[in-house]
Every structure is written in structure tokens, then in C-alpha cells.
Amino acid sequence: MNTYDPFARYYDADFRDYTEDVSFYRELARRASGPILELMCGTGRVLLPLAEAGHQITGVDVSSAMLAIAREHLAESGLSATLIEGDVRSVALPEQHFGLAFIAINSFMHMETVRDQLATLETARRALSHRGSLVIDLFNPDPIEIVREDNRIVLDRHYNLDGCHVQKFVAIDSDTAEQKSYVTYLYDESDAEGRVTRRTMRFTMRWYYRYEIEHLLARAGFSLRAIYGSYDLDEYSSGSPRLIVVASPGK
């Protein structure tokens, strides 16, 4: 069982209503020449609206449980997409060239080492057509906020799920030298009788700075095309909410 499998239903509930980036990807997909590839697609939050818009799209994720939920959403909506279970660092993709590949909100931050990062970028480079585009959407690190992270537990959200009430707590502890945040999610699920079940998920997120990601792309054989600070394509600055890079395979 994959580490993320037991938390797939929570992940879907946590993020299914996040739509801030959907219009951004719809426009990218409209301009793309060829099919679309989403790496680390999760439960299909972005994949579904692109399939709904009529695009031929393939999603890859390492979690079978995440993909199972994505398949359910596709079936419920009468949509079709290709879903592949695999590690983005080494997955075997269909013999086709994609016009657009993307890694949505912060998912690339799960690649903790340079080896993992380059392997994932190599997967994308091999998959893209020579005129294709790679888009990676990252958190723009704020050093002031990062040093304040001290592993205190904070209530992040609460919602009803499958007849139970869920409270999600988050604790983050960051190491500035390693550029890593150690994240703990605590899900307290209360049933109708008031019994509480707690599930704990721990993972590491590796954050990036602008020129670091530029050098990674260059090492992986990409040419940088643009850097944006928001989904509205605002110019990137130190105060930008996002660090969004657009690159194409080098010649």
C-alpha cells in the first residue's frame, strides 16, 4: 500500500473545491498542440475539468486509492481520461508526444532530492513534443513565515465526510538549511455516536527558489520560457503568492 492511500478520501475532500488554478490550466490546455499530461494528478481535481473541456488527457499518480477516486469522479461525470498508476520518476508512458505537461499546486515539492527532481523532469522531457510546454506550480517561500513554523498544531479545516465529521489539524516544522518543511496532518473523524478516530499523516515538502528551479530545468534539458507569480500571469516578485515556471524541451 502506498503511503498516501489511506488518506485519499481526506485529500479529495480537502482540495476538491480548490479552483483558483483551473482557469489557468484550461487556457494552457486550449493553447496546447496535442494531448495533455498531468503528473501527480491525485484524485483528478484539475484533470476532470480539462477532460470536461474535451481535451485528451493522461494522469499519473503513485497512489492507487487516489486514482480510484479519480475514476469514480470521471464515471459520475460521464468523462474519459487515461489514468496510470506509477512513480513519476520512472513511469512508463504511452508512446505519444504531449503538447502540455504540468505538475499542479506544490506537488513537485514532494521530490526531496536533486536526483528525484531530475528524474521527474526527465519523465516530462521525454513525454513532451519538441514544441510542448512544461508547467510547474510551486509555493513561493516566504523566509519570515518559514522561520515562524515551530510544529504547533493548528486547526486547518473541518467538514462532513461519509456521514462523519472530520477535523483536520496541521503542524509544520521547517529546516531552512535543508529547505524542507516537515508536515503532519491529523484527521479526527467523529461518527454519529461521538467516537473519534485519529489518523496521522507525515510527509516532507522541499521548497525552491527562483534560480534554483531555473538551474534544475537547465540540467534536465529544458529552456525557460516564463516565470509568473500568480495564476493571472502577474510578474514574479518576492511577494508573489506562487512561483510558476513554464519551460520547453531544449533543442
The one-digit pLDDT tens for each residue of the chain (251 residues) are 688 899 999 999 999 999 999 999 999 999 998 999 999 999 999 999 999 999 999 999 999 999 999 999 999 999 999 999 999 999 999 878 999 999 999 999 999 999 999 999 999 999 999 999 999 999 999 988 898 899 999 999 999 999 999 999 999 999 999 999 999 999 999 998 989 999 999 999 999 999 999 999 999 999 999 999 999 999 999 999 999 999 999 76
**pLDDT of 96:** 80
User: Distance (Å, rounded) from C-alpha 148 to C-alpha 168?
Assistant: 20
**pLDDT of 251:** 61
User: Distance (Å, rounded) from C-alpha 6 to C-alpha 30?
Assistant: 35
**pLDDT of 170:** 97
Which CATH number is 143-206 given? 2.20.25
User: Distance (Å, rounded) from C-alpha 163 to C-alpha 168?
Assistant: 16
Q: Say what the pTM is.
A: 0.95
User: Distance (Å, rounded) from C-alpha 169 to C-alpha 202?
Assistant: 12
Q: What is the CA radius of gyration of the chain?
A: 18
CA dist list (Å): 217 to 61, 89, 121, 185: 21, 15, 7, 31
5-141+207-249 shares its CATH topology with 143-206: no
Q: Where exactly are the structural domains of the chain?
A: 5-141+207-249, 143-206
Strand ranges across the sheet with 98-103: 82-85, 57-61, 36-39, 98-103, 128-139, 242-249, 222-228
AA letter at 189: E
**pLDDT of 1:** 64
User: Distance (Å, rounded) from C-alpha 100 to C-alpha 82?
Assistant: 15
Which CATH number is 5-141+207-249 given? 3.40.50.150
